[in-house]
Structure 1
Amino acid sequence: MSEEQTVSLVDVLEEDEELEEEASAVLAGSDSDHCSYPQGYVKRQALYACNTCTPKGGEAAGICLACSYKCHEGHDLFELYTKRNFRCDCGNRKFSELQCKLYPDKDDANSQNKYNHNFFGMYCTCSRPYPDPDDQEEDEMIQCVVCEDWLHGRHLSRAVPECVEMQEMICESCMSKNKFLWTYAAHLAVPGSSEQTKEEPGEESAADVPKKVEKVDGVTECPGKRRREEAELSCRLKELQDIGQKTVQSGAVFWPPSWRSKLCSCTSCQAQLSEAGLSFLLDESDTVLAYENKGKSSEQSQQGHDPLMSALDNLNRVQQLEIIHGYNDMKTELKNFLQTFATEGKVVTSEDIRGFFEEQSRKRRRVDAGPFYCS
Structure 2
Amino acid sequence: MCEEQTVSLLDVLKEDEELEEEASAVLAGSDSDHCSYPQGYVQRQALYSCHTCISNGSEAAGVCLACSYKCHEGHDLFELYTKRNFRCDCGNTKFKDLQCKLVPDKDEVNTSNKYSHNFSGLYCTCRRPYPDPEDQVEDEMIQCVVCEDWFHGRHLGSLVPDCVGSQEMICESCMNQNPFLWIYADHLAAAVDHVTQDAKDVEGRGGHVGIYLPDNRTDVIESTSKRVRGEPEPNCRLEELQKISQNRTRTGAVFWPSTWRSKLCCCSSCQERLSEAQLNFLFDELDTVQAYERRGQNKDQNQGGHDPLMLALDNLNRVQQLEIIHGYNDMKSELKDFLQGFVAEGKVVTPDDIRQFFEQQQSRKRRRVDAGPF
| Cα contact 1:48–1:62 (8 A) shared by 2 | yes
1:254 positional shift: 0.5
Q: Which residue of 1 aligns with 2:303?
A: 302
Correspondence 1:31 to 2:17: no
Counterpart secondary structure, 1:330: coil
Letter in 1 for 2:270: C
**Which residue, 313, 316, 320 being the options, matches 1:330?**
316
| Cα contact 1:185–1:194 (8 A) shared by 2 | no
Tell me: CA distance 1:4–1:41, structure 2 relative to 1, closer, same or farther (3 Å). farther
| Cα contact 1:32–1:69 (8 A) shared by 2 | yes
Letter in 2 for 1:236: R
Letter in 1 for 2:156: L
Q: Which residue of 1 aligns with 2:146?
A: 146
Q: List gaps (5 residues or longer) in structure 1.
A: 197-229, 309-323, 367-375
Tell me: CA distance 1:5–1:97, structure 2 relative to 1, closer, same or farther (3 Å). same
Counterpart secondary structure, 2:151: strand
After superposition, where does 1:197-346 map in structure 2 within 5 Å? 232-304=233-305, 328-330=314-316, 335-337=321-323
1:138-182 CA-to-partner distances (Å, cap 9, x unmatched) read: 111000000000000110011110121111100000001001101
1:200-227 CA-to-partner distances (Å, cap 9, x unmatched) read: xxxxxxxxxxxxxxxxxxxxxxxxxxxx
| Cα contact 1:261–1:284 (8 A) shared by 2 | yes
Larger CA deviation: 250-259 vs 10-19: 10-19
1:303 positional shift: 1.3
Larger CA deviation: 10-19 vs 124-133: 10-19
1:297-352 CA-to-partner distances (Å, cap 9, x unmatched) read: 1001111499x8xxxxxxxxxxxxxxx8x76432865654577799xx9984469x
Q: Which residue of 2 aligns with 1:132?
A: 132
| Cα contact 1:42–1:84 (8 A) shared by 2 | yes
Tell me: CA distance 1:346–1:71, structure 2 relative to 1, closer, same or farther (3 Å). closer
In 1: Cα distance, 2:24 partner to 2:317 partner: 23
For these two proteins, the number of residue pairs brought into alignment is 310
Correspondence 1:60 to 2:60: yes
1:170-197 CA-to-partner distances (Å, cap 9, x unmatched) read: 000000100110111123359547459x
> How large is the RMSD of aligned CA atoms in angstroms?
3.6
In 2: Cα distance, 1:276 partner to 1:98 partner: 35
Structure 1 runs, 4 residues or longer, greater than 6 Å off: 338-342
Using the size of structure 2 for normalisation, the TM-score is: 0.73
Using the size of structure 1 for normalisation, the TM-score is: 0.73
Tell me: CA distance 1:251–1:338, structure 2 relative to 1, closer, same or farther (3 Å). farther
| Structure having the higher Rg | 1
1:74-121 CA-to-partner distances (Å, cap 9, x unmatched) read: 100000000000000000000010000000100000000000000000
Q: List gaps (5 residues or longer) in structure 2.
A: 195-208, 213-230, 336-357
1:236 positional shift: 1.0
| Cα contact 2:159–2:210 (8 A) shared by 1 | no
